[in-house]
Structures are given as structure tokens and as C-alpha cells.
């Protein structure tokens, strides 16, 4: 895959270890959910490194008063792409519990593989926030691109996208369609099969998170 300035692929033994268990078809729904949350926490650490609005406060230690930088209240919004993106929300919340949550519903048409939007509910004032869009699977990239475009149409200017597993096709599509959006992918897989599922992937993330198959 081409290199993109706005794409970060994680190369970390802890994340690789957790992804190996996540992929395994024998991994239970409970463990799958926990792993998605843990991997998201690790990714959030990097995703929130730059660009998060901060402010200075005074803190009184037992010895003296000092000035400290903290993340500004009400500055971060998490936007999961339903359904599977829901599995990543707690991972971001564990790192920044007061983040608000907006929801975008998308499903892929089974024959065309094109994303179909069916729901959107976003916090008021989202256009001025640091927005983190989450979805564990970045396959063709259609769902991510449309969700990001929807947020831009609402006025959002500061958008990040996090996926756990990416196919080269999807990563390239998002990186090129939205060069102003930083894309964080914990691992890059080989490609897509004839049904646009990621190989080796982990199967259907929504079904594995929610036990629907
Ligand atoms: C999955 C996944 C992404 C999308 C990725 O959702 O969670 O949203 O597919 O595919 P793409 O990159 O080719 O658009 P799905 O449509 O299966 O819906 P679900 O989360 O409700 O199961
Ligand atoms: N959606 C999934 O859940 N898995 C894939 O491999 C592709 C799309």
C-alpha cells in the first residue's frame, strides 16, 4: 500500500497480541468485547496525542500551587458507526469519560457493498469539537468515508478515524478522500474477499460483538 501522511498503522507487540486472540474464531463474545475495548484504549492514547483542546488550570499540591494543562471540558465527541463501532466507545471513554457520543447508523448493502445510512444523532455543537469516529472494520472504506462526509457536512473540521483492522483498499480510500482526517488503524490486513470481507480479518465484527450469528 502507498504511504500516507495522514495514516498511522500501529506496530506494537501488545496490540498484535490482542488482535491475534480477537481473530481466533474460538474467542467468546465476552472476550471479544473486552479485547475490542482494550485495543481501543491503547489506540486512543495515540489518537488523542495532538490537536485535543487543552486549557491551563491551577492545582494546589501539598507543597505549592502550580499551573497544569488539562483537556478542555466538553471538547471531545466519539462517533461510533453502528453497529460495530459501539464496541469501541467504552475504550475511548475509559481514557476520557466525559466525551459525548454521537451515533451514525450505516449498513452495507449485501450485493453492492455500498453503505446505506439509516440513523444519525449527534450532540449539539459538534462542529467545534474534536471528533473521533470509531468502527472496528475498515473494508472497502465506503462506510467510513460516508460517515466522515456526513460530519463534514454538519460543519465538523477536526475529525479523526480509528479502526482496529484495515484492508489496504479501505485505508487508501479514506486517506485519499479525506486527506485532512488522521486515520489510525491498529493492523493492516492482506485484502478483501469476493464479499468484501477483510482477509484474514476476524469475520463480522457486529455479529461477534453482539452474538447475532
Ligand atoms: C461493517 C463494519 C463497517 C463496515 C465496513 O458494518 O462495522 O461499518 O462493515 O465495511 P466497508 O469499509 O466496506 O464500508 P456492517 O455493514 O456489517 O454493519 P453492522 O456493524 O451493523 O454489522
Ligand atoms: N465488516 C465486518 O464486520 N467484517 C469485515 O471483514 C468487513 C466488513
Per-residue pLDDT tens digits for 7-27: 999 989 999 999 999 999 999
Distance CA 154, CA 157 (A): 9
Q: Is the C-beta atom of 166 inside 6 A of ligand 1?
A: no
pLDDT of 1: 86
Using only C-alpha atoms, what is the Rg of the chain?
A: 18
**CA–centroid distance, residue 71 to ligand 2 (Å):** 34
Q: Is the C-beta atom of 141 inside 6 A of ligand 1?
A: yes
Q: Compute CA distances 150 → 41, 118, 182, whole Å.
A: 25, 12, 16
User: 133-182, pLDDT tens digit by residue?
Assistant: 999 999 999 999 999 999 999 999 999 999 999 999 999 999 999 999 99
- The answer to whether position 53 is within a domain reads no
CATH of the domain at 116: 3.40.50.2020
Residue with cell 452495507: 108
- The answer to whether position 92 is within a domain reads yes
**DSSP-assigned letters across all residues of 5-17:** TTEEE---HHHHH
Q: Give the residue whose CA is nearest to atom 2 of ligand 1.
A: 137
User: 23-65, pLDDT tens digit by residue?
Assistant: 999 999 999 999 999 999 999 999 999 889 999 999 999 999 9
* 69 contact partners, CB below 8 Å, separation of at least 6: 54, 55, 56
Q: Is the C-beta atom of 15 inside 6 A of ligand 1?
A: no
- The answer to whether position 83 is within a domain reads yes
Q: Is the C-beta atom of 170 inside 6 A of ligand 1?
A: yes
Q: Give the residue whose CA is nearest to atom 13 of ligand 1.
A: 140
Q: Is the C-beta atom of 103 inside 6 A of ligand 1?
A: no
Ligand closest to CA 204: 2
Distance CA 174, CA 133 (A): 12
Task: Give the three cell numbers for residue 112.
Answer: 453492492
In whole angstroms, what separates CA 167 from the centre of its chain? 15
pTM confidence score: 0.97
Which of 82, 139, 169, 212 most suits a substitution to test ligand 2, by most atoms within 8 Å of the C-beta? 139
- The answer to whether position 166 is within a domain reads yes
- The answer to whether position 38 is within a domain reads yes
Task: Give the three cell numbers for residue 183.
Answer: 486515520
- The answer to whether position 35 is within a domain reads yes
Residue 83 preceded by cis peptide, ω within 30:
yes
For ligand 2, residues with CB inside 6 Å are 84, 137, 139, 197-198, 201, 204-206
Residues recorded for the chain: 213
- The answer to whether position 72 is within a domain reads no
Q: Which domain holds residue 32?
A: 7-48+77-210
Q: Give the residue whose CA is nearest to atom 4 of ligand 2.
A: 204
- The answer to whether position 68 is within a domain reads no
Q: How many folded domains does the chain comprise?
A: 1
Amino acid at each position: 500500500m502507498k504511504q500516507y501522511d495522514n495514516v498511522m498503522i500501529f506496530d506494537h507487540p501488545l496490540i498484535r497480541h490482542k488482535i491475534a486472540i480477537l481473530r481466533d474464531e474460538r474467542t467468546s463474545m465476552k472476550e471479544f468485547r473486552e479485547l475490542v475495548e482494550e485495543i481501543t484504549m491503547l489506540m486512543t492514547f495515540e489518537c488523542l496525542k495532538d490537536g485535543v483542546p487543552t486549557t491551563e488550570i491551577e492545582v494546589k499540591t501539598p507543597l505549592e500551587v502550580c499551573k497544569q494543562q488539562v483537556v478542555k471540558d466538553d471538547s471531545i465527541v466519539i462517533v461510533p458507526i453502528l453497529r460495530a463501532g459501539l464496541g469501541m466507545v467504552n475504550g475511548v471513554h475509559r481514557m476520557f469519560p466525559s466525551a459525548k457520543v454521537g451515533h451514525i447508523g450505516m449498513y452495507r448493502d449485501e450485493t453492492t457493498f455500498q453503505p446505506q445510512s439509516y440513523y444519525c444523532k449527534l450532540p449539539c455543537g459538534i462542529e467545534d469539537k474534536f471528533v473521533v469516529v470509531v468502527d472496528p472494520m475498515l473494508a472497502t472504506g465506503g462506510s467510513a468515508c460516508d460517515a466522515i462526509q456526513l460530519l463534514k457536512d454538519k460543519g465538523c473540521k477536526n475529525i479523526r478515524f480509528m479502526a482496529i483492522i484495515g484492508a489496504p483498499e479501505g485505508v487508501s480510500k479514506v486517506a485519499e478522500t479525506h486527506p485532512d482526517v488522521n486515520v489510525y488503524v491498529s493492523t493492516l490486513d492482506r485484502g478483501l474477499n469476493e464479499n468484501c470481507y477483510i482477509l484474514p480479518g476476524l469475520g463480522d465484527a457486529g455479529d461477534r460483538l453482539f452474538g447475532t450469528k
